[in-house]
Amino acid sequence: MKLLLLFINILLFISLSENSILGATCGIQTVPKHHHRVRRIIGGIDAQPGSWPWVVNIQMPTKNGYVTVCGGTILDNLWVLTAAHCLYKLQSYTNLARIVLGANRASELGPDTQIRAIEEFIRHEHFEYETKKNDIALIRLNKPIEFNDYIQPGCLPPQSSNVSEMDDCHIVGWGVLQEEHYTLPSKTLKEARVEIINGKLCNDSNWYNGTIYDYNICAGYEQGGSDICQGDSGGPLMCKKERAALYYVFGVVSWGGICGKWHQNGVYTSVQHFEQWILNKINSSQDTTDDNKEETSEETTKSHNKDTESKLAKINDILSDENTEYKTNRRKSVLKIRAARGKFNNMETSSRKITTGTMQQENTHSGWLASHAPSQLVFQVKAYILLIACLVLMFLCL
């Protein structure tokens, strides 16, 4: 009987894990993983190698070497899910980007790491850069991935699952660790646990004030804490039930306020909302990758070696402009939240004045009662003594 139950559990586990685009096993953490309950990803803990095998690092070349610009999620052996705003201002240079798979340290690639180029970058047709509306995209790789213990596909969530019911959610990324000092992206993959925040609460007037839509997910902590930051864009929000085996990719890192601060949590694009779009794009795209095309691409790269320096300089300028834009937007967020807090504090002060006035009247009235009814205090003391005596007696009888 025990063997039968074990066999049924194994079949259920396998059937639940077959939810990648190709129907292959997905969402399996093949390397042993110990979860850490941490409150911050900024300056937080390192993820163990292989603990999140479906996460990829998207890098661009600069004069000082490759740098992390975004994250992504492996869907199958040829497709990666990311955010539409990733590489948006570098569209002319996506052929120079590299997709790093199976890495833990972004700059020190081990023997299990694989590198691919971008064959095609498909943004949502109605993506808006300023508002981050429909912030979702697909990357078709130049050649198939060879799966191993450190490289596995992630699972898309079933339409029947409700992200608000998930009680074990994690975020990961190579983003900056201290936004205040605008440090470089982390060299090591970071992880943190977050909570799903109710959309209506997240849309409150002293929060994101109506800018959260049905295609968004809010995650983090109301008072600040674990959060995504610059460089984490495109990476996954992964959730499951506490006792479940598989993580599902419910969200794609899209935008947020001041990293890790009060009412400034990360906002994610809902994968469930765009799941049909993802499937349609993958099914309609023909695989035109072959050895001849790869060789032609290499020859083309060699013939343009003279332009490499000018291209790297241009990429440096674009990334520098993006950092400046990022800082400016964050300053605007700071001013906005300070204004909201000031308004809240003024309302609170006014409320205190009204409450104080009422309390003074109550204190005057209660003082009159206390001075004219000393017997009430004596009665209360006697009642407490009697109660304690009854409890002691009940304990002795037991």
Mean pLDDT of 304-322: 65
Q: Is 135 helix (H, G, I), strand (E, B) or coil?
A: coil
| 5 domain residue, yes or no | no
- What pLDDT score does 346 carry? 44
| 11 domain residue, yes or no | no
Q: Are residues 160 and 252 in the same domain?
A: yes
Nearest residue to 135 via CA among 148, 146, 126 = 126
The pTM of this model reads 0.72
Q: Are residues 253 and 105 in the same domain?
A: yes
Poorest-pLDDT segment among 98-107, 114-123, 229-238, 356-365: 356-365
80 DSSP β-pair partners:
74, 139
Strands (E), 246-336: 248-256, 266-270
- What pLDDT score does 134 carry? 97
The two structure tokens encoding residue 138 = 């697909």
Share of the chain above pLDDT 70, in %: 61
Q: Name the band, by pLDDT with cuts 50, 70 and 90, for residue 198.
A: very high
Domain boundary among 285, 300, 315: 300
Mean pLDDT of 152-173: 93
| 250 domain residue, yes or no | yes
Q: Are residues 256 and 137 in the same domain?
A: yes
Residues forming the active site: 85, 135, 233
The two structure tokens encoding residue 292 = 């001849």
- What pLDDT score does 230 carry? 73
Distances in Å between the alpha carbon of 85 and those of 44, 138, 141, 359? 25, 11, 18, 54
Q: Are residues 80 and 176 in the same domain?
A: yes
Q: Are residues 135 and 274 in the same domain?
A: yes
Distances in Å between the alpha carbon of 151 and those of 35, 101, 251, 381? 19, 6, 20, 70
End-to-end CA distance of the chain: 44
Work out the burial of residue 296: count CB atoms within 10 Å of its CB; fewer than 13 is exposed, 13-18 middle, 19 or more buried: exposed
- What pLDDT score does 300 carry? 44
Specify the length of the chain in residues: 398
Poorest-pLDDT segment among 22-26, 86-90, 172-176, 203-207: 22-26
Q: How far apart are CA 179 and CA 189, in angstroms?
A: 17
| 166 domain residue, yes or no | yes
Which one is predicted more confidently, 13 or 234? Answer: 234
Share of the chain above pLDDT 90, in %: 42
- What pLDDT score does 378 carry? 42
Q: Are residues 292 and 367 in the same domain?
A: no
Q: Are residues 191 and 269 in the same domain?
A: yes
The dihedrals phi and psi of 49, each to the nearest 5 degrees, come to: -55, 130
| 335 domain residue, yes or no | no
| 136 domain residue, yes or no | yes
Domain boundary among 300, 319, 338: 300
Q: Name the band, by pLDDT with cuts 50, 70 and 90, for residue 109.
A: confident
- What pLDDT score does 264 carry? 77
Mean pLDDT of 129-157: 96
Q: Name the band, by pLDDT with cuts 50, 70 and 90, for residue 261.
A: confident
The two structure tokens encoding residue 331 = 């300053």
CATH of the domain at 261: 2.40.10.10
**Is the pLDDT assigned to residue 86 strictly greater than 60?**
yes
Q: Is 74 helix (H, G, I), strand (E, B) or coil?
A: strand
| Residue listed under structure tokens 């095309």 | 293
Q: Are residues 235 and 91 in the same domain?
A: yes
Q: Are residues 295 and 360 in the same domain?
A: no
The identity of residue 375, as a single letter, is S
| 90 domain residue, yes or no | yes
Residue 383: which domain range?
355-397
Number of domains in the chain: 2
Q: Are residues 280 and 177 in the same domain?
A: yes
| 256 domain residue, yes or no | yes
Q: How far apart are CA 145 and CA 27, in angstroms?
A: 16
Q: How far is CA 64 from the centre of its chain?
A: 28
Q: Mean pLDDT: which of 73-82, 290-299, 322-331 is highest? A: 73-82
Q: Are residues 281 and 390 in the same domain?
A: no
**Is the pLDDT assigned to residue 317 strictly greater than 70?**
no
**Is the pLDDT assigned to residue 79 strictly greater than 90?**
yes
The identity of residue 330, as a single letter, is R
Which one is predicted more confidently, 181 or 353? Answer: 181
Q: How far apart are CA 57 and CA 269, in angstroms?
A: 18
Q: Are residues 45 and 148 in the same domain?
A: yes
